[in-house]
């Protein structure tokens, strides 16, 4: 099926290079471990010809929009729709599940709670495997396929593995998953199994799994699909392209993302800086990163000057971001600095409260995504975010990704034995399931009680 023509900026013929984020070394080929051949730091993808390309930005914007009307799979992908700003590829190799094109929702109820005029959420949980990982995985799986690899592998807190397993299956590759035993949700584990991955539950945490993967790629012919792989981050840039398109290219004041291994914040930040460089936007939104208090390596790293990573022993029920040594910390620091963003950590109770508030909007998200709303509350208190500003929260995962958490919360089991103050903050948001005899009287009684005591939403 022919896809729509390319537009003013045709970087597909201009190519790309890998650049070391520390020493700046440029190369057209990356090693298996995607680390610099000189200093071993991470690589990023750059497009040297962009500087002289002087793109016709209005034409680009209308090309991207018009692709919604195409019938070609790559035009219908919310990632490949923006292919002029991605590494060039033969279209027949693209592995796509029609990722991206996710909604930008208004959150009027949450806006009222935090005292903002307007609050928006980019819901990445509505991707094919239920998380933002699909936007990066389509690009990285495509380049893995182009490289002719047989095995792809990742370490994961659950979402990367679900996504990788799906895209590997679609691309005709085998997949190997390394996850921390007992520390990922059943939903995510079941996805990897369902999509046919060889799934290893290792007796360690995410950082241990990632360390082992690094060793594995040196010793076996497996292609790594963690966010160390810079193709992943190129795909994840499209989250920012879409946000801007959905706001008619008028930049929001703030974009707030959860921080785990820090690939996503790096990708979104890279996209913002590239859009500014190309003249697609006239000013750069501030990109802020929120972590869980028990996994706050970036917060601590910044507090100690930002010259070296301060690792932590991670602990949080938001298992997606239960990471102590984030691989992309330098990239994230760079985008925080370049966009003037903040970095904050939020408590387990603040996360649970924010998750229930997003749920009560009829939207829902997984716990790791809810750190964005909890973090926003802090940034407002600090006057870093003002009530009249436009804020976009990036909700990274679907509510169905972690039903155990939601059920524990509503049954009052998430913070068992917690103090009265905690209970007072959370009780109005709890809706525990009610077990009843199967009689009409019993149900009518419940309806009556609920009507008499309307529960405040917050």
Residues of this chain that bind ligand F0G (CB under 6 A): 131, 133, 156-160, 227, 258-265, 320-321, 366, 368-369, 396-397
Per-residue DSSP letter, 299? H
Say if CB 149 and CB 245 are below 8 A apart: no
Closer CB to ligand F0G, 57 or 104, in the complex? 104
Closer CB to ligand F0G, 284 or 398, in the complex? 398
Task: State the nearest-atom distance from the C-beta of 184 to ligand F0G, in Å.
Answer: 8
∠ CA 265-267-271, nearest 5°, is: 115
Measure the CA–CA gap between 94 and 85, rounded to whole angstroms: 15
Query: Is residue 335 classed exposed, middle or buried when 0-12, 13-18 and 19+ CB atoms within 10 A define those classes?
Result: buried
Residue 215 CB-half CA count within 13 A: 7
Task: State the nearest-atom distance from the C-beta of 114 to ligand F0G, in Å.
Answer: 20
Closer CB to ligand F0G, 43 or 76, in the complex? 43
248-266 in b/e form (b: 16+ CB < 10 A) is eeebbebbbbbbbbbbbbb
**Paired sense of beta strands 104-106 and 119-123, if any:** antiparallel
Task: State the nearest-atom distance from the C-beta of 348 to ligand F0G, in Å.
Answer: 16
Q: Give the position of tokens 């046919």.
A: 196
Say if CB 217 and CB 33 are below 8 A apart: yes
Measure the CA–CA gap between 311 and 210, rounded to whole angstroms: 14
Closer CB to ligand F0G, 67 or 331, in the complex? 331
Task: State the nearest-atom distance from the C-beta of 138 to ligand F0G, in Å.
Answer: 15
Token code pair at residue 124? 């990445």
Task: State the nearest-atom distance from the C-beta of 436 to ligand F0G, in Å.
Answer: 35
Closer CB to ligand F0G, 64 or 167, in the complex? 167
Closer CB to ligand F0G, 84 or 366, in the complex? 366
Task: State the nearest-atom distance from the C-beta of 450 to ligand F0G, in Å.
Answer: 32
């Amino acid at each position: 099926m022919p896809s729509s023509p390319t537009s003013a900026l045709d970087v597909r013929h201009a190519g790309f290079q890998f650049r070391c984020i520390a020493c700046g070394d440029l190369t057209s080929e990356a090693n298996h471990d995607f680390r610099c051949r000189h200093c071993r730091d991470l690589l990023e993808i750059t497009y040297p010809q962009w500087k002289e390309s002087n793109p016709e930005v209005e034409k680009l914007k209308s090309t991207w929009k018009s692709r919604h009307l195409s019938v070609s799979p790559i035009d219908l992908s919310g990632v490949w729709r923006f292919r002029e700003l991605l590494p060039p590829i033969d279209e027949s190799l693209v592995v796509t599940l029609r990722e991206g094109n996710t909604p930008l929702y208004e959150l009027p109820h949450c806006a009222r709670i935090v005292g903002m005029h307007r609050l928006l959420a980019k819901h990445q949980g509505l991707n094919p495997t239920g998380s933002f990982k699909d936007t990066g995985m389509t690009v990285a799986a495509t380049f893995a396929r182009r490289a002719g690899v047989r095995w792809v592998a990742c370490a994961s807190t659950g979402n990367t593995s679900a996504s990788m397993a799906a895209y590997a299956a679609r691309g005709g590759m085998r997949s190997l998953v390394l996850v921390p035993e007992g520390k990922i949700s059943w939903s995510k584990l079941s996805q990897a199994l369902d999509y046919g991955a060889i799934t290893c539950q290792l007796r360690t945490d995410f950082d241990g799994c990632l360390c082992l993967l690094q060793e594995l790629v040196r010793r076996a012919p497996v292609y790594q699909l963690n966010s160390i792989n810079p193709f992943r981050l190129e795909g994840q840039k499209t989250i920012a392209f879409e946000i801007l398109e959905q706001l008619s290219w008028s930049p929001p004041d703030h974009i707030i993302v959860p921080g785990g291994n820090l690939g996503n914040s790096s990708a979104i930040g890279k996209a913002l800086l590239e859009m500014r460089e190309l003249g697609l936007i006239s000013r750069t939104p501030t990109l802020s990163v929120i972590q869980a208090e028990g996994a706050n390596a970036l917060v601590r790293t910044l507090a100690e000057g930002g010259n070296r990573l301060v690792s932590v022993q991670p602990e949080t029920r938001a298992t997606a971001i239960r990471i102590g040594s984030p691989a992309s910390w330098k990239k994230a620091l760079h985008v925080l600095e370049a966009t003037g963003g903040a970095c904050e950590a939020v408590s387990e109770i603040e996360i649970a409260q924010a998750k229930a508030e997003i749920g009560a909007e009829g939207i829902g998200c997984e716990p790791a995504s809810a750190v964005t709303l909890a973090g926003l509350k802090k940034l407002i208190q600090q006057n870093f975010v003002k009530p009249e500003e436009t804020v976009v929260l990036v909700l990274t995962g679907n509510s169905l990704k972690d039903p155990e958490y939601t059920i524990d919360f509503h049954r009052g089991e998430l913070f068992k034995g917690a103090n009265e103050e905690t209970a007072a903050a959370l009780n109005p948001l709890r809706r525990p399931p009610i077990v009843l005899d199967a009689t009409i009287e019993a149900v009518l009684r419940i309806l009556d009680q609920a009507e008499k005591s309307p529960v405040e939403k917050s």
